[in-house]
Structure 1
Amino acid sequence: MMANLFSIFDPVASFNLPLNWLASLLGLIFLPWAYWVQSNRHAKFFQMIMGQLHGEFKTLVGPSASKGHTMLFISLFMFILFNNFLGLAPYVFTASSHLAMTLSLAFPLWLAFMIYGWFNHTQHMLAHLVPLGTPGVLMPFMVLIETTSNVIRPGTLAVRLAANMIAGHLLLVLLGNQGPSLSSSILSLLLVTQILLLTLESAVAVIQSYVFAVLATLYSSEVV
């Protein structure tokens, strides 16, 4: 039962090739061709979203942000958002529900921030390990706690995104499997519940994309 339940997250495809990972690129297909060549409603809508995100991320990074600094996190937000939404469609592989993908996004970002911070702002990184006003007796413990908290950041970023996407999908699958054994009156109630859950999952898809991008922005602001 559990093996069949989790088979929806199995990244195995035909020809012994994991072709379903290509679903992460399907977001480009949903952008109409006119988006790339002329100004239109779709382009203006995306520009409005990007402008809003740019303002928020620039505030988080602070005045030390270089030109184009926020574009990395806006692109990250859009990429995760497309994958989260595509995973809600039937028979579409949810790439963002796998640690293989979420860790591939979180770990290189965290590692790049750490390398940049320790090489260019060593004193700041050392000072960050001991919060201001910490008693001398607790300093070794605070260094250990802050170091551990820093090291597990990519894991928490990856697990948060993957776990939230898996939880919603599993709930939808579990409820959907009960349909054939229900009466028509209860089935209508189940359909309404499924629609409400799908709406909730759409909100979760946006929120988790935003949380991932915001946390990555905050981690970068600590090393600048």
Structure 2
Amino acid sequence: MSAKLGLDMELHKLGLLAPAGYFVGLHIRFASPLISFQTYDQAWLDHYTAQAYALRDPTIAWGFSVTGASRWSEFTIPDTFGILKEARDFGLRFGLSVACGPISSRTIASFARAEREFSDDEIERISQIVRRLHEITEPPESLTKAQIDALRCVAMGDRHAAAAAKLGISESAFKARLNSARQKLLARTTAEAIQRAKDYKVL
């Protein structure tokens, strides 16, 4: 199974376990995740962004101070700005946060339900999935020179045929290099692969 397929399968499982949505920030470095996924309602996301809650979110503060899992109702960290109370008004009535990984490459994820608290079994299952996601999205130490050259050509605006000619290879070989780079970077598109390679500082 490819890493990308494994990633998609794990995210699908999270969607079933957290029907009111989730946010997963993988390998947070310099205050920003290298990869993130979210399924919260757009109204909440718009409100959260407009209020700049990321800077004050107790789930984020908790995630940088604790390794493990906790229901939001069991947080000991203060919610000074009432963010979790506001989240309830948007249907995120019961929540769970999970944090793992070293502080230099932290993964923090939060999940919500509208009708009840997460059970102990669900918390364990979600925690295992988050840990697997953290592992399979570990940034690659490097790409091959061929992969970097292919991504760089596209980043500079070359079309496939022109890029292949520039590199002295067939167009099918060029596409194969792009495909292998996307797989290594767990990217769905070449544009996403280019951005991720830049984020990982391998391009």
Q: Normalising by the residue count of structure 1, what TM-score does the alignment of the two structures yield? A: 0.25
Q: Which has the higher strand share?
A: 2
Task: Please identify the structure whose Cα radius of gyration is greater.
Answer: 1
| Higher RCO, Cα 8 Å, sep 6+ | 1
Q: TM-score, normalised by structure 2?
A: 0.27
